[in-house]
Structure 1
Amino acid sequence: MSTGKQIADAAIANSAIPAPDGTARVKQGAFKSLMYGALALAILGLVLLLGDVFNDGAGKISPELFTNQPSKIRPETSGFQSALIGTVYLMGIVAFLVVPLGVATAIYLEEYADRTKWWNRLVEVNIQNLAGVPSVVYGILGLAFIVRGPLSLGRTIVAGGITLALLVLPVVIIVAREAIRAVPPSIREGSLALGATKWQTIWKQVLPGSIAGIATGVILALSRAIGETAPLLILGAAISPRINPSLDNEVLTAMPLQIFNWTRDSEVDKFLPLAAAAILVLMVVLLMMNSLAIFLRNRYEQKW
């Protein structure tokens, strides 16, 4: 036994990673210093930017900002009610579309698709590629096929919601697939061994085990959609409309569009505080959405 232990200790000693020499330590220290310096510089820039926005917009946040309609000539009474309602409509339509489509596609690709078939591999490759396509391209697609073309929905809130749903759908599919894949195969095998069908196994075991990751992915996808401006501009969204969007009128607007309009106004000095206030409101919403995603992940994530 002692001879075997000596041989094992000698093997461990011989396979140990040698300690870095003086030159390697200097290089590692320099790299860490550059990394931490770049991180500190980025954080400092962010803090300064947020401080400037807060200094300009904090005094403008009031109930009237949420209840008044935009005005191009009276900044003291201008608000963003129509843009806020448009954002709520858009996020509702996006969630209504991407949750069932994204989860159903992820279930098919992970649980049913035969990876030896060329069409399933083609679908997977296209989903991966579509996740990296610029948002402007989705705006062009929405203008050609949704606002005009086959669907011809016009410049409506529904057309904007469908376009943004197409934008974030690949992200939801990818995240949902990762969450489903994280469920151990033994859970599926045990359920099937007890007599459950494949769909019962997915519905009762796989989806409950992956719900935390799916919910996190959906919320983060909505967080991306809520800040998109370029696709809506290409669709011909209204700038500072004085009527609220609805499902039966052609008024398409959102918070990022209103901020964009205020920052490019000819009297930008008068409207800049309103834009800063709207940025603060949008940032608070995004922070709440990301905090909810973190809470759901920590609360319902299962340790297998």
Structure 2
Amino acid sequence: MEQCSLVNAMLNHGNDLSDVHSLDSIDSGVMGTSEVFEHDLQSITTEKLLNELQRVKEDLKSKDGEIRRANEMRENTNREIEDLTASLFESAHSMVEQAKYAQANAEQKLKVSNQTIDALILENSQLKKSVNELKQILNSCRSSSNMSTTNNSIDNILFREFICWEEKPCIERDSSLFIYRIYNEDILPCLTFPNADLSSKVLAAIERNDVVMEACHSKGNMKTCSLMGEICQCDYRVRLGEDSQWWLLSRLARNRIAAVCDFFTFIRHVQLGLVKNDAQTRFNKIIELRKQMAFARLGL
């Protein structure tokens, strides 16, 4: 019995030792697994931190690019503002200079206009004086009844030139001494205006019998006469052919053109044989038409 008890006691002691060794093995296994887990956790955390660091670097790089572009945009905007400011300043300076030039030009034109007006007033005064003197001379030469021409008062040289012209009537300037004299003494002076170019065109149109004049009465017709070049009442206009424009005329310019047209109309009638009066009557009519050209030129 005692031996059995001893054997059992030894067996129990051996079991206890086995249990102790089993616990030690378990503790060792648990400790090894924990170390592996901690190692894996550290690896994952490091990788995550590296990835986060890389992302932050990329974000910083992107922000740097945005900042650089913003700075470039700001510099470009500043340059554009400076250029615009300079351009506006130059434009304003140019406008001021143009305004000064326009003002100076207007003042110069006003000065010239005033001088021209003064000269025209003086010329008009002298012309009126000459007209009055001419009227007195004409009145002293008139007969008590009329202005009929007699054989004692006509210019025999001019009359002979007229007779020679009637043998072969022609209205061209150099066709005869008679027409040449009237051109130089009456027609050309009557059609001599400040606008020389238009004056020549008017004469050429009259010679072609291609002149149309008409009244254009309306209020406020203070405009520039195309021939005289003065601002005055322009109640008439003239056209020098079908394709010509209309030219505004003052009464004085219209009367001078009309006087020359009347002369050419009568000369053409004589040329065509439509005037059946005697040579003396025809000559007297021409003298009358020449007088009308002289009066028109003087503004009478």
TM-score between the two structures when normalised by the length of structure 1 = 0.27
Considering Cα pairs closer than 8 Å and 6+ residues apart, tell me whether 1 or 2 has the greater RCO. 1
Higher strand share: 2
State which structure, 1 or 2, has the greater radius of gyration over its C-alpha atoms. 2
TM-score between the two structures when normalised by the length of structure 2 = 0.27
